Amino acid sequence: MADIVLDKVSKSFPDGTVAVRDVDLEIADGEFVILVGPSGCGKSTTLNMIAGLEDISSGELRIDGERVNDRAPRDRDIAMVFQSYALYPNMTVRENMAFPLRLAKLDRATIEQKVAEAAKVLELTPLLDRKPANLSGGQRQRVAMGRAIVRSPKAFLMDEPLSNLDAKLRVQMRTVVSRLQKQLGTTTVYVTHDQTEAMTLGDRVVIMRGGAVQQIGPPQELYDHPANLFVAGFIGSPSMNFLHAAVEEERLRTAVGDVPLGDRLRRELAAEDAPRELILGIRPEHFEDAGLVDEQTRGRGTEFEAPVEIVESMGSDKYVYLTVSGERASAAELEELAADVGADGFGGGAANLVTRLSAESTVAEGENRRLWFNLEKIHLFDPSNGRNLTLHEGRAAGALAS
Amino acid sequence: MSTETETATAVDRAGPTGAVPAPRRGRVGRPTLSEGKRAERRLGWLLCAPAALVMLAVTAYPILYSVWLSLQRFDLKFPDEREFVGLANYVTVLTNDYWWTAFGVTMLITVVTVAVELVLGMGLAVVMHRTIVGRGLVRTSALIPYGIVTVVAAFSWRYAWTPGTGYLATLFGEGAPLTERASALAIIMLAEIWKTTPFMALLLMAGLALVPEDLLKAASMDGATAWQRFTRVMLPVMKPAILVALLFRTLDAFRVFDNIFVLTAGANETSSVSMLAYNNLIRGLNLGIGSTMSVLIFLAVAIIAFVFVKLFGTAAPGSTDEGGRR
Ligand SMILES: Nc1ncnc2c1ncn2[C@@H]1O[C@H](COP(=O)(O)OP(=O)(O)OP(=O)(O)O)[C@@H](O)[C@H]1O
Ligand SMILES: [Mg+2]
């Protein structure tokens, strides 16, 4: 049990790569924190610095208030689970789990008891005498977890522990990890690629990009109030729609019609150095079939018409894909996100929209449909630095906020 | 030899994926190979046949011929007295003090040099594996001794230890180190170790590359010191590579010849068994006794290889563990 504080922690490698830049992070005792971000953003490096496997170039790392920058991993009392599981191939499951205890020079009976306990929690008891080579992926994963929990460390560090499992097993193990963490109440830092894991597992999520922290907060907060374009695009599946928006006096001209602006935004955009072009962000669920919106709600949004390309009915709701003509949104962040997803899903081509409509909608492929979207839920980003302009004191207030 | 086995395993490996599962018909209960499997096995044999034939021609024939010679009294100085004597030559050699002295010397050299080489080679391998700056330079310079022809190196050692000309001779007072048994043996071993440690290091380095970085990180997280990481994680994972290195070097060391030939020529009871066989066979022209010794050396080497292969057997599960991971 411990709190972990990263105070302006940076890492530069001998070849000049700056992998982590000025990361400030306070992890409370017992908290479950997720580090998430695209490949190469410095998640593993950050985790390795907390573990002591990488030296910290500058800044300070404190565990329980004590500076531990120069402490060897074995003196930090932290356990780690690796993506490759890193089980010792020459040892049985029992020996693997007992290894940290034997190194800690516990007596035989205690070791035996602790291993048995951990094995029971993780349902490994029948496998104790097997070698790792004779285990399935999921079982190996559990052994790796077992090896971490046997010695009741101050904290767990996990580097993409589930990414070698197939999709179904991953979901299953996700609940195991979550339950285990709640049960033990051990401070946990968990690295993942997968934003679903990030959203479902953690108390708080840290989004990183290019070695720098973009935003820290509970998953729902990141979803509702993204600080910038990158966070907005990274969190959510399907991801937020981004459209180009031109600033014109009191409104924005976009491919989905004109968007009126509230007082605050108008004031902000009236400034001399204010951007003349913005990026409009709308989440799929903030669209609705215009025919299904009641009068009261209608006023909070605006309508547009567009040709429907594909309709996917999910039962509970419908995913509708539309094409709207107009300039595509462009920003460095969007390109990076697209590269990470490996697709041109972000503002690619002639702006494709992904919308999520109620199941009652009678929308059909090929027709022109009138859609409505909620102006209170939209986000506006400055393309030059990605900042979310609708964010006011940490809350996103939509376009109309005064 | 190696080409032969490689071809065979490559074919084996291609087996399960490459074979078309032939429909199993008739003859229930008799485990027969499917058509495809059998065709593949035949192809396997055909592929390694040329290598096997060449091997037979260049090794089996001389071996059998020397066995044949070892069963005869055959001294080229007395060619008329050639006759079949059965195992008499073996009795002669195995009851002879020179043979056992040479055998002892050979064993001593083998055990000491291989042990020292293993330790030094491991150190060198770790250094070569870990160095980040000037990696190429470190590796190249470490391998230089292995690149020098043994006889040339042996001569330079001989001159170095010869009083008057050598820079090392005066190190241990007066006297001529190469003319006394203990110091001569020490110098022979030194020359051997100097020469072949790089080879050992090279083989071990291949083994080091087998140890996943994550495994060592996991061990540090589990609380292992550097030494514990080495002994409890690295060595077990490297075991197959270590055994290969030991096998190669033990077989080599047991046949030690050139260094002794150049440094002492076997004087003062510093002969190895190879040296003794050479003296009888080439110098003494006694084909019968010389061949007997050669056959005995062959047997000793075969026994060493057999013992190591037995050890491999126990290491094999560990090595399949490796392959099975991930
Ligand atoms: N030893 C090293 N020397 C130089 N650069 C390195 C080294 N290790 C990592 N890097 C660089 O540091 C950056 C961050 O790497 P890191 O492994 O932390 O990424 P990551 O966020 O864990 O990515 P992934 O999701 O792919 O695992 C990368 O750009 C990487 O190329
Ligand atoms: Mg990583």
Q: What SS3 class is residue A283?
A: coil
Q: Is B41 contained in some domain? A: no
Name which of B132, B217, B225 is nearest A86 (Cβ-Cβ).
B217
Residue B288 reports pLDDT greater than 50: yes
Evaluate whether residue B13 is within a structural domain: no
Centre of ligand 1 from the C-alpha of residue A41, in Å: 7
Judge if A4-224 and A239-396 fold alike in CATH terms: no
Q: How confident is the model at residue B25 (pLDDT cuts 50, 70, 90)?
A: very low
CB atoms within 10 A of CB B243: 18
pLDDT at B148 over 90: no
Flag whether pLDDT at B18 surpasses 60: no
A44 Cα–ligand 2 center, Å: 4
Provide the number of structural domains found in chain B.
Answer: 1
Mean pLDDT confidence for A180-188? 93
Q: A108-121 and A93-103 are packed helices; what angle lies between their axes, rounded to 10 degrees?
A: 130
Q: Hey, is the C-beta of A170 within 8 angstroms of any chain B C-beta?
A: no
Asked whether residue B293 is domain-assigned, the answer is no
Number of residues that this document lists for chain A:
402
Q: Whose CA is nearest to atom 25 of ligand 1?
A: A39
Question: HEC string of chain B?
Answer: CHHHHHHHHHHHHHHHHHCCCCCCCCCCCCCCCCHHHHHHHHHHHHHHHHHHHHHHHHHHHHHHHHHHHHCEECECCCHHHCEECCCHHHHHHHCCHHHHHHHHHHHHHHHHHHHHHHHHHHHHHHHHHHCCCCHHHHHHHHHHHHHCCHHHHHHHHHHHHCCCCCCCHHHHCCCCHHHCHHHHHHHHHHHHHHHHHHHHHHHHHHHHCCCCHHHHHHHHHCCCCHHHHHHHHHHHHHHHHHHHHHHHHHHHHHCCCHHHHHHCCCHHHCCCHHHHHHHHHHHCCEHHHHHHHHHHHHHHHHHHHHHHHHHHHHHHHHHHHHHHCC
Q: Which of A192, A221, A231, A155 is nearest to A34 (CA)?
A: A192
For ligand 1, say whether the CB of A45 is within 6 Å of any of its atoms.
yes
Residue B26 scores a pLDDT above 80: no
Does residue B303 fall inside a structural domain? no
User: Could you tell me the residue range of the domain that residue B158 belongs to?
Assistant: 101-271
**CB of A19 closer than 6 A to ligand 1?**
yes
Cα–Cα dist B73/A341, whole Å: 82
pLDDT band of B315, cuts 50, 70, 90: low
- Residue A47 CA: nearest ligand 1 atom is 18
Mean pLDDT value across residues B44-61: 90
Q: How many other CB atoms are found less than 10 A from the CB of residue B304?
A: 17
Report the range of poorest mean pLDDT among A96-100, A395-399, B252-256: A395-399
Q: Which residues in chain A have their CB less than 8 angstroms from residue B212's CB?
A: 84, 86
Average pLDDT, chain A: 90
Q: What is the mean pLDDT of residues A97-102?
A: 95
Tell how far the Cα of A51 is from the centroid of ligand 2, in angstroms: 14
How would you class B263 by CB atoms within 10 Å of its CB: exposed for 0-12, middle for 13-18, buried for 19 or more? buried
- Answer yes or no: are the C-beta atoms of A208 and A10 closer than 8 Å: no
CA distance B229 to chain A (A): 11
Sequence-distant (≥ 6) Cβ neighbours of residue A109 within 8 angstroms = none
For residue A124, is pLDDT > 70?
Answer: yes
**Confidence (pLDDT) at B21:** 43
Shortest Cα distance from A170 to chain B (angstroms)?
16
Q: Decide if pLDDT at B253 tops 60.
A: yes
Q: Would you call A326 helix, strand, or coil by DSSP? A: coil
Query: What is the mean predicted confidence (pLDDT) over B285-305?
Result: 89
Residues of chain B contacting A103 with CB distance shorter than 8 Å: 222-224, 228
The most confident of the ranges A203-217, B56-70, B256-270 is A203-217
Question: pLDDT value at position B109?
Answer: 92
Res. B224 pLDDT band, cuts 50 70 90: very high
- Beta-carbon contacts of residue A340 (< 8 Å; ≥ 6 apart): A38, A39
Nearest chain A residue to B229, by CA? A103
> What pLDDT was estimated at residue B7?
38
The pLDDT score that the predictor gives to residue A263 is: 87
DSSP-derived 3-state class of residue A390: coil
pLDDT at residue A347, rounded to an integer: 44
As a whole-number percent, the residues of chain A with pLDDT over 90 amount to 67
Asked if residue A254 has its Cβ within 6 Å of ligand 1, the reply is no
- CATH, domain A239-396, list 2.40.50.320, 3.40.50.1820, 3.40.50.720, 2.40.50.140: 2.40.50.140
Cβ of residue A88 lying under 6 Å from some atom of ligand 1 = no
CA distance A55 to A73: 10
- For ligand 1, atom 24, name the residue with the nearest CA: A39
- The answer, yes or no, to whether residue B150 has pLDDT greater than 80, is yes
The CB-side HSE value for A238 (13 A sphere, CA atoms) comes to 21
Query: Taking residues A13-19, what's their average pLDDT?
Result: 92
Of B24-33, B195-204, B241-250, minimum mean pLDDT range = B24-33
ipTM over 0.95: no
> Quick one: pLDDT at residue A1?
65
Q: Please judge whether B222 and A103 are an interchain contact, meaning their C-beta atoms are less than 8 angstroms apart.
A: yes
Contact B222 A87 (CB under 8 A): no
pLDDT band at B173 (very low <50, low <70, confident <90, very high): low
In a domain, B287, yes or no: no
Give the domain CATH number at B172: 1.10.3720.10
Residue A208 has pLDDT above 90, yes or no: yes
| Residue B11 confidence (pLDDT) above 50 | no
Gyration radius from chain B CA atoms: 25
pLDDT band at A349 (very low <50, low <70, confident <90, very high): very low
A353, containing H or E segment: strand A352-358
Q: Is A154 on the interface with B (CB under 8 A)?
A: no
Helix (H) or strand (E) holding A384: none
Q: Which of A9, A10, A18, A41 to mutate to test the pocket of ligand 1 (most atoms within 8 A of CB)?
A: A41
CA of A338 to the centre of ligand 1 (A): 19
B170 contact A CB<8A: no
Which of A25-29, A264-268, B138-142, B155-159 is most confident?
A25-29
Confidence (pLDDT) at B313: 65
- 3-state SS class at A289: strand
Q: Are the CB atoms for B287 and B69 separated by under 8 Å?
A: yes
Which residue's C-alpha comes closest to atom 18 of ligand 1? A42
Total length of chain B: 326
Spell out the domain ranges in chain A.
4-224, 239-396
For the record, the structure tokens of B126 come out as 């770790």
Cα–Cα distance for residue pair A59/A10, rounded to 1 Å: 6
Selecting from 3.30.1280.10, 3.90.850.10, 3.40.50.300, 2.60.40.1220, what CATH number does the domain A4-224 have? 3.40.50.300
A273 CB near ligand 1 (under 6 Å): no
Minimal-distance CA residue to ligand 1 atom 28: A40
* Tens of pLDDT, residues B81-113: 788 888 888 888 888 888 899 999 999 999 999
The CA distance from A265 to B88, in Å, is: 110
Rounded Cα distance between A305 and A370, Å, is 4
Name the token pair of A186. Answer: 């051990």
The per-residue pLDDT for A2 is 86
Which of B211, B216, B217 should be substituted to probe chain A, the one whose Cβ sees the most A Cβ atoms within 10 Å?
A: B217
Q: Does residue A109 carry a pLDDT above 70?
A: yes
User: Which protein residue has the closest C-alpha to ligand 1 atom 3?
Assistant: A13
User: Which amino acid belongs to residue B141?
Assistant: S
